[in-house]
Amino acid sequence: QASQEELKAAYRRLCMLYHPDKHRDPELKSQAERLFNLVHQAYEVLSDPQTRAIYDIYGRRGLEMEGWEVVERKRTAAEIREEFERLQREREERRLQQRTNPKGTISVGIDATDLFDRYDEEYEDVPGSSFPQIEINKMHISQSIEAPLTSTDTAILSGNLSTQNGNGGGSINLALRRVTSAKGWGELEFGAGDLHGPLFGLKIFRNLTPRCFITTNCALQFSSRGVRPGLTTVLARNLDKNTMGYLQWRWGIQSAMNTSIVRDTKTSHLTVAMQLGIPHSFMMVSYQHKFQDEDQTRVKGSLKVGFFGTIVEYGAERKISRHSVLGATVSVGVPQGVSLKIKLNRASQTYFFPVHLTDQLLPSAVFYATVGPLVIYFAMHRLVIKPYLRAQKERELEKQRESTASDILQKKQEAEAAVRLMQESVRRIIEAEEARMGLIVVNAWYGKFVNDNSRKNEKVKVIDVTVPLQCLVKDSKLILTEASKAGLPGFYDPCVGEEKSLKVLYQFRGVLHQVMSADNEALRIPKQ
């Protein structure tokens, strides 16, 4: 956002600082000449509206790209940005065509009722009966991939396999989706399986107003019993910024009418639903609280009451790595019993493990289903996950340091040369500031500081930037904008990829002050 006048003023100041003719020492003169040329190149780029717009969008790499000579010189910065955004959209479309967007779910049902529902007299004469029998009684695997055909057409191939107590089957589906306009799309679906006959379906989505949309899904399922038609319609409306209302009507297999209200905010998610249908009618309330921490922790609870009985569920989920979220839910119901559901989301893959513990309402089962996962999680997090993530972060930092080592070395040499060239100017600035009882930087450090006792084993990595900061003082003021301070004259990055701060001890009107500023935080001293 710097104006042309501000650019000219900064250019003149740095030219005076780095002009080769001001230095007699051959080594200093050579260093000054290199820095002077860098300043001149920067000013040439930023003083031209077109090259400045290219730099704002692409960075230095954009200036090295070929083809800018064919761009009209009369174009404004806004027009160049629009051109860039258009190219970005085209690039995204090409990427979209190369992307299959795979999604999958693996569900493994575990029967662990033998842990709590055993009858000892039945096992007295059975060899090995002292050990409870835990078995897998059902599995489900589904997978889908997308293949963009054009910018508006997409083919979706999906399949699933299911088995329960030794019996199972599978199906495969192909869907063709076309975006008809900005307001809607349509989808044709064809499917076949060994448990059911061929399936033909049509799904239509349409925005009725900016706050209301409708989805209709028609299906024809062919089987040995004949044709079974089905129709599902969902009408949704934005009630306010964070709240959606839904009305659903389902006719055919398991006909039902359902209404629900969903409120989703930054810190919470609330769902209230009611359904009247065959065979199930129910009322349900669900609430989820979102903690604003880096692990994106969420706790949730729900109550569901219907003709099938009553179910209470509570649980939590937490991010355990960059792409993985782990969750656990305890389900207590009458007559369903007690179950523990463990879910792991890894990128676009979901792994689900429902563990049925007992058919009865046993306090011991509820206790172990609640406490067991917590103990195991915290033990695993402390002994396995945390050390693994720390080692992974160190490897990434080390890799980043190696890839930028030569660049950082060059920046360091330029910064050291700049500091040597600043000495005479800084001496004059200090004399002027002392005469008016103004701003004098006593000490300044930039880099990684360790103030927390829990991080006392980490190494402090800072550089002395007293001279470069004093050189930036003008009229007893020091003003730094919202940008990384590693780019300031006389600065360089002492700890690539790590959190950095600037610590300044300064004197103003004869009184000592100290200030700490984050790397990208704006700074203005003296403080009012």
Q: Is residue 502 part of a domain?
A: yes
Which of the listed residues 15, 48, 65 is the one where a domain comes to its end? Answer: 65
Whether 281 contacts 301, CB under 8 Å: no
Domain enclosing residue 430, as ranges: 409-525
User: How big is the chain, counted in residues?
Assistant: 528
Q: Is residue 94 part of a domain?
A: no
Query: Of the ranges 66-75, 140-149, 221-230, 489-498, which one carries the lowest mean pLDDT score?
Result: 66-75
How large a percentage of the chain has pLDDT more than 90?
40
Q: Is residue 276 part of a domain?
A: no
Q: Is residue 344 part of a domain?
A: no
Report the distance separating Cα 12 and Cα 158, nearest Å.
65
Q: Roughly how many angstroms between the first and final C-alpha of the chain, as a whole number?
A: 24
Query: Of the ranges 24-33, 35-44, 138-147, 430-439, which one carries the lowest mean pLDDT score?
Result: 24-33
Single-letter amino acid, residue 106: I
User: What secondary structure letter does DSSP report for 383?
Assistant: I
- Asked if the model's pLDDT at residue 299 lies above 90, the reply is yes
Whether 430 contacts 422, CB under 8 Å: no
Which tokens in the block code for residue 304? 């569901």
- Asked if the model's pLDDT at residue 331 lies above 70, the reply is yes
Question: Which among 355, 317, 321 has a CA at the least distance from the CA of 337?
Answer: 355
- Asked if the model's pLDDT at residue 73 lies above 70, the reply is no
Return the ∠ at Cα 92 (arms to 86 and 94), rounded to 5°. Answer: 110
Mean pLDDT over residues 343-359, rounded?
92
- Per residue in 159-172, pLDDT (tens digit) is 999 998 888 889 99
Which of the listed residues 15, 43, 65 is the one where a domain comes to its end? Answer: 65
- Asked if the model's pLDDT at residue 173 lies above 90, the reply is yes
With 0-12 CB in 10 A as exposed, 13-18 as middle and 19+ as buried, what is 12?
exposed
Report the distance separating Cα 76 and Cα 169, nearest Å.
62
Mean pLDDT over residues 137-151, rounded?
90
- Asked if the model's pLDDT at residue 150 lies above 80, the reply is yes
- Per residue in 246-293, pLDDT (tens digit) is 999 999 878 999 999 999 999 999 999 999 987 789 999 999 999 988
At residue 399 the predicted structure's pLDDT band, cuts being 50, 70 and 90, is confident
- Asked if the model's pLDDT at residue 75 lies above 80, the reply is no
Strands 349-358 and 103-111: parallel
Whether 321 contacts 300, CB under 8 Å: no
Q: Which pLDDT does position 121 carry in this prediction? A: 47
The residues, ordered by sequence, that sit 6+ positions from 123 with a Cβ below 8 Å of its Cβ are 129, 130
Report the distance separating Cα 430 and Cα 286, nearest Å.
65
Question: Which among 490, 401, 406, 381 has a CA at the least distance from the CA of 446?
Answer: 490
Residue whose structure tokens are 């059975």: 126
Q: Report the largest interatomic distance among the alpha carbons of the chain, rounded to a whole angstrom.
A: 103
Whether 31 contacts 421, CB under 8 Å: yes
Report the distance separating Cα 182 and Cα 154, nearest Å.
16
Whether 523 contacts 480, CB under 8 Å: yes
- Per residue in 193-240, pLDDT (tens digit) is 887 789 999 999 999 998 999 999 999 988 878 888 999 999 999 999
Q: Which pLDDT does position 18 carry in this prediction? A: 85
Query: Who has greater pLDDT, 283 or 28?
Result: 283
Q: How many domains does the structure of the chain reveal?
A: 2
- Asked if the model's pLDDT at residue 407 lies above 60, the reply is yes
β-bridge mates for residue 247, sequence order: 235, 259
Q: Is the peptide bond before 363 cis (omega within 30 degrees of 0)?
A: no
Q: Is the peptide bond before 279 cis (omega within 30 degrees of 0)?
A: yes
At residue 147 the predicted structure's pLDDT band, cuts being 50, 70 and 90, is confident
| Global pTM value | 0.64
Q: Is residue 452 part of a domain?
A: yes
Return the CATH number at 50.
Answer: 1.10.287.110
Q: Is residue 52 part of a domain?
A: yes
Q: Which pLDDT does position 79 carry in this prediction? A: 65
User: What secondary structure letter does DSSP report for 477?
Assistant: B
**How many C-alpha atoms does 111 have within 13 Å on its Cβ side?**
12
> For the chain, how many helices (H) and strands (E)?
8, 23
Return the ∠ at Cα 474 (arms to 469 and 476), rounded to 5°. Answer: 95
Whether 425 contacts 471, CB under 8 Å: yes
Which tokens in the block code for residue 158? 């999906």
Q: Is residue 515 part of a domain?
A: yes
At residue 69 the predicted structure's pLDDT band, cuts being 50, 70 and 90, is very low
Looking at every residue in the chain, the average pLDDT score rounds to 86
Report the distance separating Cα 128 and Cα 79, nearest Å.
79
Report the distance separating Cα 220 and Cα 188, nearest Å.
12
At residue 481 the predicted structure's pLDDT band, cuts being 50, 70 and 90, is confident
Q: 499 in helix, strand or coil?
A: coil
With 0-12 CB in 10 A as exposed, 13-18 as middle and 19+ as buried, what is 390?
exposed
User: What secondary structure letter does DSSP report for 385?
Assistant: I
Mean pLDDT over residues 310-326, rounded?
90
Q: Is residue 480 part of a domain?
A: yes
Which of the listed residues 34, 65, 96 is the one where a domain comes to its end? Answer: 65
Q: Which pLDDT does position 76 carry in this prediction? A: 59
What are the start-end ranges of the H helices in 252-385? 363-380
Mean pLDDT over residues 482-503, rounded?
87
